[in-house]
Amino acid sequence: MKNTKDKKKKKVKLSQIIMMLGFLLIGAFCGYWMGTYIGELISGGEDAGDALLRGLILFIGMYAAMFVQIILHEGGHLIFGLLTGYGFASFRVGSLMWKNENGKLKFCRFSLAGTGGQCLMTPPEMVDGKMPYVLYNLGGSLVNLISAVLFGLLYLLCRDMPMVSILFMMLAVIGVAFALMNGIPLGGVVNNDGHNAISIGKDPESMRAFWLQMKVNELTSAGVRLKDMPEEWFVLPSEESMKNSMVATVGVFTCSRKIDAMEFEAADELMEKILTMDGVIDIYRKLLTMERIYCELIGECRREIVEKWLDKDLKRFMKAMKTNPSVIRAEYALAVLLDRDRERAETCLAAFEKVAKTHPHPVDIEGERELIAYVDQLDAARCI
């Protein structure tokens, strides 16, 4: 178990280092052009205050360029998904999300640690165990690259307008960087597009797991709880096949389905097993550990076990995911059943109700309310 954890931590850290280097290079390139431009203005007799103001505008422009390239990236997934037979499900940039609800766009709020955006689609039916997947997964990087070429040409055409040309160059550089950071296979808190494309193509079971992920999202959006989805979808794959991160997700969904059905003992046993496997990506590893804590709290509630699992990494993760309903529910269970802190519990409930108003999937909220109510039932029983 320790070796598995160490391997996963090394992979996540390597991915984080590469991503950090990518953003540092973006900052270095953009900073060079901004600094050079400001220097030329000042040496040419421009007022220092005006020059710095233009520099500030360009600095803000750099972040706006990142936002534009995120939109283009997710738009690439959407375009290539539609071209290859997928249907539109949802489009998210940051925490701003638009979903397809009965043919109409509905605005929601949702965020996921390790992602700047996400475009989810409904999958085409599999034919002979196969489905198109390469263009959908790599479409975002392709659009980033195409846009980078176009912005590079605009940079050349606008050389007589320095501020405009620098903004176009920043858009081009960021486009190339995003294409590489998403297209070159990297595993981390969340696997990137290139990693997913390779994982899906390894074997038929991976492709089925990819289809299942999108199908689960489709039915969840349509108002179907995990516990009510077809049981045959959630047959645990072999341990060997779950070395593939895409296949391992089926195991994670199986655990979540048992939690939704309140089969807590079976869920905990399965989570303990799955957490020993290499294929589980970091975000799911942390979510499963959090669910094990919930199962422990409603079971024997051993403080030493809870504190062992609730380490610094998990606390940081839960803080980053503080608007996720299942994280809030786990925090509520900790406050009520472990710490007996009613004030903190009420704060958790208020946070939950706030999130519930804009969460994209009402059925998720319905399930979480039942799990919160179960905490209250246990608390009342233990106080008798």
SS (H, E, C) 105-166: EEEEECCCCCCCEEEEEECCCCECCECCCHHHHHHHHHHHHHHHHHHHHHHHHCCCCHHHHH
Q: How far apart are CA 206 and CA 200, in angstroms?
A: 5
User: Other C-beta atoms within 10 Å of 330: how many?
Assistant: 25
CA 83/CA 13 separation, integer angstroms: 36
Nearest to 329 by CA among 259, 270, 269: 259
The DSSP line for 53-65 is HHHHHHHHHHHHH
pLDDT tens for the chain, 384 residues long, are 455 455 555 555 566 677 778 778 888 888 888 888 788 877 877 777 888 888 888 889 999 999 999 999 999 999 999 999 999 999 999 889 999 988 888 898 888 776 778 899 999 999 988 999 999 999 999 999 999 999 999 999 998 888 899 999 999 999 999 999 888 887 666 788 888 899 898 888 999 999 999 999 999 999 999 999 999 999 888 888 998 889 999 999 999 999 999 999 999 999 999 999 888 988 999 999 999 999 999 999 999 999 999 999 999 999 999 999 999 999 999 999 999 999 999 999 999 999 999 999 999 999 999 999 999 999 888 875
Residue 135 burial (10 A CB sphere; 0-12, 13-18, 19+): middle
Sheet hosting strand 117-122, strand order edge to edge = 104-109, 96-101, 87-93, 117-122
Residue 226 CA to residue 249 CA, distance in Å, equals: 14
Buried b (16+ CB within 10 A) or exposed e, 332-367: bbbbbbbeeeeeebeebbebbeebbeebbbebbbeb
Tell me the pTM.
0.84
List the structure tokens of 370: 């039942």
Torsion angles phi and psi, residue 215, rounded to 5: -70, -40
Instruction: For residue 93, give the 3-state DSSP assignment.
Output: strand
145: Cα separation from own chain's centroid:
22
Q: Which amino acid is at 199?
A: S
**Amino acid of residue 362:** P
Whole-number pLDDT of residue 1: 47
Task: For the chain, give percent helix, strand, coil, nearest 5.
Answer: 70, 5, 20
